[in-house]
């Protein structure tokens, strides 16, 4: 069966520090991968999606970047965090075509 792992679960980082969140998927090949952000009490905002290794599409201009160095690995990064980067970050995957997306358990990032 397929599983998605996202870590860490919580993170507190100072303003100006770098960020690296990692997401890996097991049990499937060539998944579509996504990073979403959710502000407290709000909906999900799509940040990045990837349909293959090295292929990254950005949905909104921001202080973050994403990379996909391997087929089932998706990384969210920042060189210098801002206070506004605080939020709940969710990684997700789905198969090719119209299929449901499966989410990781999320990383709660607090920038102080």
Partner 1 sequence: GESVGLHLPTLSVQEGDNSIINCAYSNSASDYFIWYKQESGKGPQFIIDIRSNMDKRQGQRVTVLLNKTVKHLSLQIAATQPGDSAVYFCAENRGDTGRRALTFGSGTRLQVQP
Cβ burial 68-89 (10 Å sphere, 16+ → b, else e): beeebebbbebeebeeebbbbb
| Residue 57 engages partner 1 in binding (rule: CB under 8 A) | yes
Which of the 8 DSSP states describes residue 106?
A: -
Determine, following the binding rule CB under 8 A, whether residue 34 of this chain makes contact with partner 1: yes
Q: Does 5 bind partner 1 (CB under 8 A)?
A: no
Query: Checking DSSP bridges between strand 73-78 and strand 65-70, what pairing results, if any?
Result: antiparallel
67 binds partner 1 (CB under 8 A): no
- Contacts with partner 1 by CB under 8 A lie at 6, 32, 34, 36, 39, 41-46, 49, 51, 57, 59-60, 90, 92, 94, 96-98, 100-106, 108
């Amino acid at each position: 069966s397929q599983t998605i792992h996202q870590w860490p679960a919580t993170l507190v980082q100072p303003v100006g520090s770098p960020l690296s969140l990692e997401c890996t998927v097991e049990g499937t090949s060539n998944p579509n991968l996504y990073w979403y952000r959710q502000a407290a009490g709000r909906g999900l905002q799509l940040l990045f999606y990837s349909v293959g290794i090295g292929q990254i599409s950005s949905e909104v201009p921001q202080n973050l970047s994403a990379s996909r160095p391997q087929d089932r690995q998706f990384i969210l990064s920042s060189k210098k965090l801002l206070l506004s980067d605080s939020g709940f970050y969710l990684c997700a995957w789905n198969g090719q075509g119209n299929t449901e997306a499966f989410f990781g358990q999320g990383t709660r990032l607090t920038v102080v």
